[in-house]
Every structure is written in C-alpha cells, then in structure tokens.
Amino acid sequence: MSLFCVGLVLSFLFIGQAETQNQNNCIKIPEVSSGNAEAIEKNRRIAVLIQADRLIQSNNLSEAIKLQQSVKKPLPNVAAPNPPTRNVENLASGAKVYWQNAEEGLENGLPTKALISLEKLSDNYPEFIPGHIKFAEAAIRWNQPEKAIPTLDRAYGIYPDRVDLLEPLLKLLISKKMEVEASIASRQFALNYPEHPDAPKYKKLADDYMNQFINDFKNESFITALISGDRKIIEQIFKGESGFGEDSAKEIKENAVLVTDPKLTEYINGLGQKLAKLSGRDDFKYEFNVLQDNSLNAFALPGGKIFINTGAIADMESEAELAGILSHEIAHTVFSHSYQKIITETKARALRKVGLINTFFEYLKPELAFGRSLEQQADFLGTRLLSSAGYSADGLYRVFDRWRGYEKNKQTGWLDSHPASSERVRYLQSIVQNRNYNRYSLENIEALIAARGAFCKAEVKDQPPTETQTTTKPSNKPTLGKVSVTAGQTNDNVSINIDGGKVESSGRYILNVEIVNKSGQSFGFVPIFAKTTNAEGKAVSSQFISASGKNVVNAGETAKGTLSVFQQPWRDTGDQGLVWQVTESTGGGRVFRIPF
C-alpha cells in the first residue's frame, strides 16, 4: 500500500473518531450521512490535505503543493486595482476630461462643476491619487464635509500603502476631532508595512492620537455628570484598553460557561499566542478563552482578550482555518476596533442624553457590529498574520466562503457581527491573490483533530458511569418528546417564563421561553451570558437562543426563545433541580433567577 493510501485510511479513522466522540456535546461537529456525496467529498479532501501536511513536515514541498492543488478549488479571477499614479498623462481620455473640468471649476469657483467632476473621477478612476485628495478638499471648501472623509478612507482602503493618501486623511480626521479613527489608520499602516521606513513614525502617531483622545475625553464637560451618576462604563474607559479588557473579560467569565479542560484550552492559547507575537503590538497581555457554546462565534475585547466558542472550533476543517479566525480577532484587537466602538457609542449616547450602556454585554449586539472598513482592516492584517505564521493563506477566505451559506441560520452569532457577504469573500480572495500569499502551505489538520478529540475524551471521562442493564432490572428508557414544565419570575414589570418543552435524548432537552415586557422601557439581554447552575451552584452546559435573533424586547412587546440543556437527564418528577439566570444588559440592572 502506498504512503498516500495509508494516509487516506488513517485520515478517515481520525475524522470518524472525532465525529463519534462529539456526540457527547463536548464539541459538536455537524452530523452528516455516511452516504452523503458532499460528506464523502469533504472527508476525501481532508484526507488528502492531511497527507500534504505530512509531506510539508518532511520538507517535500513540491509534492505537497500538488496534493493541495488537486483538492482545493481554484480561486476565481479577481482584477487587481490599477497601479496608482499621480500623473494625469497616464489616465484614459475620459479621466482627463473629468480632471480638466474639475480644475476649471476649482479655478473659477464653480462648486457644481468641480464637485461632480471630481466625484466621478474618484469613483471611476481610483488609481488617480490627486483626484481623491482634490475631491476631499473641494467638499470641505463647499460645505459638504460628509463626503470628504469617506472619499479618502475608501481610497486608502484600495491603496493602503500610500502615504500620500494617509497624510491628508489623518489631517482631516484630526481636524474633526476623530483621534481614535486617526489612531487606527496610523496603526494600520505601521502594522501592515512594518518594513517601511515611516512605520515607526505612524506607530508613534497611533499611540499619540489615542492618548490625546483619552485626555480630551476625560476633560469633556459632560463627563462630570456621568461619573456622578456612577456610570461604570466611563470608569472602565478611563482605565485604557488593557484595563477595560481585563474588567470586561472578568465580567464575561463570571456569566458564561468556560471550557477549562487543559487539552483544548492550552492548544487554543498556544495557537493564539503564536499568532499574537506576529501582530506587531506587544503592549497587550493576550488571552484566549474557549466558551462552551455550540453557536459559531468569536469576539475580541480591548487589550487582547479573545473568546471563541466550541461551536466555531468544531466547524473548522483545519488549524489554518482556526488560525484565520483567531488572526482576524487579533487584528480587531491591535487596531483598537472594540475600544473605538465602545467609546464612540458611549459618547454618542451621552451627547444624545440617552441611557448609557453599563456592561460590556450590550456592545456585543449585532446592531453595534464593526463597519465594512474595520472588517476589511481586520481581514487584511489577519490574512497577513496567517501567512506569516506559515499556514495556508486562504484559511480565513475558506471559512467565509463556507459560512456564506450559514447566514440565514439564526444560531450563527459570529455572522451577525461579521457578515460573510459575496463582496467580503471577494475581498479576502483579492488579498491572497494580489499580495501573492501562498495558499498551498501548512493546514495542520491532525493537530486540530487531536485537540478536539482529547477534549471530548476528557468530557466523557468526567461523566458519571451509567448503570449496567440486567435482565432483573427494568429498562430506564428516557422520556422523549413533549414534557410539561412551568417556571418564571417577574421583576419590575418584566416577566421571563418557561412553559413546556421537549426531551430530545437522555442528555438533552429544550424548554420554551417567553419574555414579556410590560414596563415603559426596552429590556435587553445577551443570550450567551444566560447561565444554568445545579443545586451545588456549578455551571451546567446550556444554550439560550432568541427566536427572532434580536436581544432587545421593546416596551409592550413579547419575545420568544428556547433554552437547551445538555448532559442532564430529564427528571419525570418535573423538578430538574436547576436554576436559570438571565442578567439584563440595559440600564435597569434586573437579574432573573428562575428555578425549574
């Protein structure tokens, strides 16, 4: 038998073992029929990639590339941006006409002629750098500032190595007192082009702009009133990114179910730390945590505190894909995206004189997701980190390409805040192609399978042994199907009720949940931070899902959802001996503890 055939057989054994072990809800891999053509093709592809990994590890790179090319889909052709230019003579005739009309409008004080010509030039001929700069200047001159920053930001996104775009963008951002955005743009250049002679300059500017913002923020006139009201979020912001991240991570750990088995946590942390060392930002204490949750989700807190769900780990086909997700979240951290989102939302609410957010939970809402520009920044740096670490550079691209089909699934929380649109997938593809990153490198599939499998074995080992069935004992078959259970609590005109459910197996049941808001204000909650505990106060694996996908119940409205409980047999007595806790994320601070 050839080495390739041996690898193929072993790979099916590895994959089958992992999927069988995952029936215990340790890391639940989606079940597929053994006769399903798609599943067979997936297993064949993974088997070939495992064999390619072994060839790479034995330094047989040419044969490894051939194997990967045989199972990886070719990337569709994506047109690279035209080379940037400052010389109008290099432009097409249509662009020259726009430029001529623009110059005439600028010289003769004709705003309509100048602005229309420059806007068309910027949109249709983005390679002409002076066109963007002149359009931004004209927009400011003729009282259309809302067009200036987006124009330069879009151009800088297309040509992120151009200092002649970055400099006017920074000048404009600072003039509008947008120091956080200026800090991010500066750091973007410094981290993406560390070998550029100006990289140290922009790294220092990034720090200076952020410090300037914090100092100005502390001195804002409305801050005194906010602090006098004991606004927790303001105090956390004043601690800076690292301090804010520490507090927020502690809050999450107290309210979520964390995986503590060292086999998986050490694997995830080791992988994350390896990638973080390449990020170019060493002022954070990076930390990688695993949440026991079957939904596809990962998120980054300020200061390098990153969380990933077991559901996301289960969906990964290789360590390269997992590294892609972690690199993307690391990029959000090093660019201070989370910190920016928190600060801007807090400041906006204060200026509007509406209620502030008092916990980090509310910032995880989909409606407060990162914008397109910030996601592209994280994709760009994340892919560079992935490639620099020696992995196949298309790892993040493949995840998004696969997850595009998941977007209608309400349980895919990561996609609420990281939409995997066709445009997004094309952008990731263009990064790999246009920067000539290597997509035929290490996948390290067996390391991922081993970590997941070891974790599953530990979970099974921790479960109490089942009684051996004998002919003298009646069979204790679990109750299956619909069951009756009623529980609930009302707190300041908001009621959370459990009414009926369904037992799906001996270790899993799903309860119907209803939230009724009869108060005069919106009631918010974050499903992943609802927790279930037993009589000893120990966490029980569970998952709360909002049926609508929204985490806010408006005044006078009712919301429905489900609470799934794992690894707990259903007691026919009705009392399950558990307590479900839901903490309000909006200003009311209600905490519901519902025994059932």
Angle between helices 372-388 and 337-352 (to 10 degrees): 160
Report the C-alpha gap between 199 and 176 in whole angstroms. 24
Task: Confirm or reject CATH 2.60.40.1230 for domain 481-595, answering yes or no.
Answer: yes
381: nearest Cα among 590, 524, 191: 191
Helix (H) or strand (E) holding 334: helix 319-334
Alpha carbon separation from 430 to 83, 275, 281, 517, 555 (Å, rounded): 15, 22, 25, 47, 46
Report the C-alpha gap between 336 and 316 in whole angstroms. 26
Report the C-alpha gap between 523 and 491 in whole angstroms. 11
Alpha carbon separation from 84 to 88, 114, 431 (Å, rounded): 11, 22, 17
Report the C-alpha gap between 54 and 72 in whole angstroms. 17
DSSP 167-211: HHHHHHHHHTT-HHHHHHHHHHHHHH-TTSTTHHHHHHHHHHHHH
Starting from the edge strand earliest in sequence, which strands make up the sheet with 287-291, in order? 287-291, 305-309, 298-301
Judge residue 34's burial from the number of C-beta atoms within 10 Å of its C-beta, 0-12 exposed, 13-18 middle, 19 or more buried: exposed
152: nearest Cα among 140, 426, 435: 140
> By the 8 A CB rule, do 364 and 416 touch?
no
527: nearest Cα among 511, 508, 542, 505: 542
Structure tokens at 47: 């088997």
* Cα angle value 567/571/573 (rounded, 5°): 165
Do 88-219 and 481-595 come out as alike in CATH topology?
A: no
Report the C-alpha gap between 386 and 307 in whole angstroms. 18
Report the C-alpha gap between 358 and 556 in whole angstroms. 23
Question: Scanning the structure block, which residue is given the tokens 């891999």?
Answer: 29
SS3 content of the chain, % helix, strand, coil (to 5): 55, 15, 30
Judge residue 346's burial from the number of C-beta atoms within 10 Å of its C-beta, 0-12 exposed, 13-18 middle, 19 or more buried: buried
> By the 8 A CB rule, do 305 and 287 touch?
yes
Domain ranges of the chain: 3-72, 88-219, 223-439, 481-595
Q: In this structure, which topology does domain 88-219 adopt according to CATH?
A: 1.25.40
297 Cβ contact list (under 8 Å, min separation 6): 291, 308, 309, 311, 312, 412, 413, 414, 528
pLDDT in tens, the chain (596 residues): 333 333 333 333 333 333 333 334 455 444 444 456 777 888 889 999 999 999 999 999 999 999 999 999 888 776 678 899 999 999 989 899 999 999 999 999 999 999 999 999 999 999 999 999 999 999 999 999 889 999 998 898 889 899 999 999 999 999 988 888 899 899 989 988 989 999 999 999 999 998 888 777 766 645 544 544 445 666 677 777 888 889 888 888 887 889 988 889 999 999 999 999 999 888 899 999 999 888 888 999 999 999 999 989 999 999 999 999 999 999 999 998 888 887 777 766 655 554 545 455 555 544 445 667 788 889 999 999 999 999 999 999 999 888 877 654 444 444 555 555 677 888 899 889 888 899 999 999 999 999 887 665 544 444 444 433 333 333 445 568 888 888 889 888 899 999 989 988 777 889 999 999 998 888 888 777 788 888 777 888 888 888 877 788 989 999 999 998 887 888 876 678 888 998 888 766 788 889 88
Neighbours of 347 (CB within 10 A): 18
Q: Looking at the DSSP assignment, which residues form a beta bridge with residue 288?
A: 306
524: alpha, beta or left, given left = phi > 0 and alpha = psi -120 to 50?
Answer: beta
Question: Scanning the structure block, which residue is given the tokens 């369904």?
Answer: 502
> By the 8 A CB rule, do 456 and 18 touch?
yes
35 Cβ contact list (under 8 Å, min separation 6): none
Report the C-alpha gap between 587 and 353 in whole angstroms. 13
194 Cβ contact list (under 8 Å, min separation 6): 280
Neighbours of 270 (CB within 10 A): 13
